[in-house]
């Protein structure tokens, strides 16, 4: 192989071909057989205890039996990585054991694939008796080759072009050998210091690029309004990129989704009549001594298992050809098996699939028939194009057919986001989801894979379908999303949740909201119950953070207006309030929202950042990390080491290791940023 082929192999081994494996073994064994009379001598020496011949025979036998063992090696790139060096080693060993062959450069053997003219292999020169036999053979006219069956055009690496796409380094859910394969890929790159940093394969990924919130003057824009957001997809995007050895693209980083990925122990409400409780904390800003952070932590009511309503769920599963990768349909099926095992026997599950067209795999079936549901999922196979709109229509039909009054009726779409047949533009699909939402059937999105993931569409559908948008890149993430957080994902305690914060111009000169760019609302939308907003599920937490600049601070960026009114002085009506928080939300089944009002006074302030609760400090550390990845100007020279220190000191109770993993990501980003 030439250097570029070796480097390509180091980055991503091509998928193994069974014919290639067999041909590699056959070539090695053929070289052994061509030793001619010497083979008999080697066999005799082996029978008499000779180390050389016996050792070689055992190597051939053990390698062949081990590598062809279907249980452990078939279908993995690890087999291909091992079999070719093994074949070369056996040929070389024969040369060493028989007459000390001298190497010479010869063209490589064709093993059922085109040969790169630049590629040469060291092949031993045969002994004199065999040289004579070869000379006779070369002088003999060759026999006509038997016709061979038609084959796909292969590249010099022995794999079809579509098989050469770079695979993720993420360990796959197919056992220890999937993890070993990923580790081999990483180790190969680490052993090549001159090898360029691998680039994440984005292909046709669609992510909405938005500008971060700017600093606003309170005198001009005293009110900030936004929708609740409990999505977590962005955190998984960032994690996947960093673990692949690349910095994430800034547009894939949505800071609020990074922050809200983690559970927080904020104080919660005592009854479902009060769907959530908000806690406000004001702290000094770690990255700017002249500003403060206003931190809002909201905790939703956690429904007890006995109070849980019945669930009517429709699994809408993408089985198109693009879902054949290990981190797509195979992971999807395993993930949804985990979910089924958490449901109550009285809940119902339907399954709709879509590829070239939509089809019903399973009519509404009680979870008490769990085996029937799991068998239906196990039988799914990928193939065809992606008729997503037709699948959505069929899924909603089944959800309406099995509708549970007073219960949870939800379509759960699992896909790589590639809709390419039928109705596929964002606007028409969003309009369809909005209309179906009025029937009481909601939509949640679970994304898989990379390279053609349409995050922009998935976000739009989930937001308009009163559901969450999550991204599942590993089995651990599936367990978190569909098991640990199943209640939050499935059972809403409030919908159309909106926040509005009015700042007191006598106390606050400027503010900047951190994140929530895609969830911004107009000021008038807050009191309009017809304007859709986010949903909070059972036990959900929502965190929002503002960086505020006090009046008189040297950090003020906006100059005073020449013709504007000066900032009003503080008076008794305002007291020492920094801001006034208002929250609107609808309880399940209600059409009119309820209003909650919370004045934010100086009593909410803590003297130093270290005095803030652990959850507040950790979430600020995550927010700083997200801003750093987006290259926010406000962080300046505030480095990853400082972010790591904040998160480490506020790690607190971490039963599932989510915060420990975050610390690992910060370290990876720091290493890649050098």
pTM of the model: 0.69
Residues 280, 600 contacting (CB under 8 angstroms):
yes
| CA 617 – CA 641 distance, rounded (Å) | 15
Q: Compute the average pLDDT of residues 275-289.
A: 96
Superfamily of domain 216-304+493-554+576-672: Gamma-adaptin ear (GAE) domain (2.60.40.1230)
Q: How far is CA 271 from CA 54, 276, 277, 518, in A?
A: 77, 9, 10, 31
Tell me which fold the domain 309-475 belongs to: Rossmann fold (3.40.50)
Residue 25: its pLDDT value, please?
A: 60
Residues, the chain: 674
Q: How far is CA 410 from CA 252, 442, 471, 495, in A?
A: 27, 5, 18, 14
Q: What tens digit of pLDDT does each residue of 400-445 get?
A: 999 999 899 999 999 887 665 445 566 777 888 888 888 889 999 9
Instruction: Please check the confidence at residue 216 and state whether its pLDDT lies above 90.
Output: yes
Q: Compute the average pLDDT of residues 245-256.
A: 94
Domain ranges of the chain: 3-137+166-190, 216-304+493-554+576-672, 309-475
Residues 467, 410 contacting (CB under 8 angstroms):
yes
Residue 386: its pLDDT value, please?
A: 62
| CA 226 – CA 210 distance, rounded (Å) | 15
Q: Compute the average pLDDT of residues 72-81.
A: 44
Residue 294: its pLDDT value, please?
A: 98
Of the ranges 108-112, 202-206, 253-257, the best mean pLDDT one: 253-257
Instruction: Please check the confidence at residue 12 and state whether its pLDDT lies above 80.
Output: no
Q: Compute the average pLDDT of residues 537-556.
A: 95
Within its chain, how far is the Cα of 138 from the centroid?
A: 57
Instruction: Please check the confidence at residue 536 and state whether its pLDDT lies above 60.
Output: yes
DSSP 547-613: EEEETT-TT--SPPPSSSPPPPPP-TTTTT-SEEEEEEEE-TT-SS-EEEEEEE-GGGB-SSGGGS-
Q: Compute the average pLDDT of residues 295-305.
A: 92
Residue 486: its pLDDT value, please?
A: 82
């Amino acid at each position: 192989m030439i250097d570029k082929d070796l480097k390509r192999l180091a980055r991503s081994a091509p998928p193994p071909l069974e014919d290639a494996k067999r041909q590699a073994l056959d070539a090695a064994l053929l070289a052994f057989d061509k030793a001619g009379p010497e083979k008999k001598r080697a066999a005799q020496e082996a029978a008499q205890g000779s180390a050389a011949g016996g050792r070689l025979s055992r190597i051939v036998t053990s390698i062949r039996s081990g590598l062809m063992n279907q249980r452990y090696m078939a279908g993995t790139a690890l087999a291909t990585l091992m079999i070719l060096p093994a074949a070369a080693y056996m040929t070389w060993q024969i040369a060493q054991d028989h007459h000390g062959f001298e190497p010479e450069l010869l063209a490589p053997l064709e093993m059922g694939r085109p040969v790169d003219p630049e590629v040469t292999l060291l092949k031993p020169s045969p002994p004199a008796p065999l040289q004579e036999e070869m000379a006779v053979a070369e002088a003999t006219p060759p026999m006509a080759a038997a016709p061979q069956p038609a084959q796909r055009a292969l590249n010099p690496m022995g794999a079809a072009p579509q098989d050469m796409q770079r695979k993720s380094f993420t360990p796959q859910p197919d056992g220890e050998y999937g993890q070993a394969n990923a580790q081999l890929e990483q180790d190969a790159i680490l052993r090549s210091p001159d090898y360029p940093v691998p680039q994440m394969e984005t292909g046709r990924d669609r992510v909405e690029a938005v500008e971060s919130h700017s600093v606003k003057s309170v005198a001009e824009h005293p009110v900030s309004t936004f929708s609740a957001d409990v999505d977590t997809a962005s955190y998984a995007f960032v994690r996947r990129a960093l673990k692949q050895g690349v910095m994430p693209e800034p547009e894939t980083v949505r800071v609020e989704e990074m922050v809200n990925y983690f559970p927080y122990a904020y104080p919660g409400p005592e009854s479902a009549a009060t769907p959530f409780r908000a806690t406000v904390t004001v702290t000094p800003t770690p990255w700017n001594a002249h500003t403060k952070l206003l931190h809002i932590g909201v905790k939703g009511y956690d429904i007890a298992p006995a109070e849980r309503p019945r669930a009517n769920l429709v699994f809408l599963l993408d089985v198109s050809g693009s879902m054949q990768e290990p981190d797509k349909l195979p992971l999807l099926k395993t993930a949804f098996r985990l979910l089924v095992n958490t449901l109550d026997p009285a809940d119902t599950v339907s399954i709709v699939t879509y590829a070239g067209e939509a089809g019903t795999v399973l009519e509404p079936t009680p979870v008490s028939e769990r085996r029937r549901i799991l068998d239906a999922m196990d039988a799914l196979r990928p193939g065809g194009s992606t008729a997503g709109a037709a699948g959505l229509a069929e899924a909603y039909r089944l959800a309406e057919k099995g509708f549970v009054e007073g219960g949870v009726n939800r379509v759960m779409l699992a896909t790589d986001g590639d809709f390419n047949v039928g109705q596929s533009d964002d606007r028409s699909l969003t309009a369809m989801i909005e209309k179906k939402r009025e029937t009481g059937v909601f939509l949640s999105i679970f994304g898989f894979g990379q390279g053609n993931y349409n995050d922009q569409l998935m976000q739009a559908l989930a937001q308009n379908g009163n559901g969450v948008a999550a991204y599942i890149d590993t089995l651990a993430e599936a367990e978190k999303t569909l098991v640990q957080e199943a209640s939050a994902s499935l059972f809403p305690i409030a919908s159309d949740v909106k926040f509005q914060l009015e700042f007191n111009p006598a106390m606050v000169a400027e503010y900047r909201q951190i994140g929530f760019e895609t969830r911004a609302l107009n000021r008038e939308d807050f009191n309009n119950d017809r304007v859709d907003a986010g949903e909070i599920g059972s036990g959900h937490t929502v965190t929002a953070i503002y960086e505020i600049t006090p009046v008189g601070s040297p950090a003020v960026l906006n100059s005073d207006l020449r013709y504007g009114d000066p900032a009003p002085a503080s008076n008794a009506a305002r007291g020492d309030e920094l801001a006034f928080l208002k929250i609107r939300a609808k309880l399940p089944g209600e059409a009119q929202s309820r209003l909650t009002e919370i004045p934010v006074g100086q009593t909410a302030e803590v003297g130093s950042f270290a005095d803030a609760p652990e959850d507040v400090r950790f979430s600020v550390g995550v927010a700083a990390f997200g801003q750093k990845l987006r290259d926010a100007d406000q962080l300046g020279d505030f480095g990853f080491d400082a972010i790591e220190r904040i998160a480490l000191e506020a790690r607190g109770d971490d039963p599932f290791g989510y915060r420990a993993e975050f610390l690992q990501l910060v370290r990876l980003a720091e290493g890649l940023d050098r």
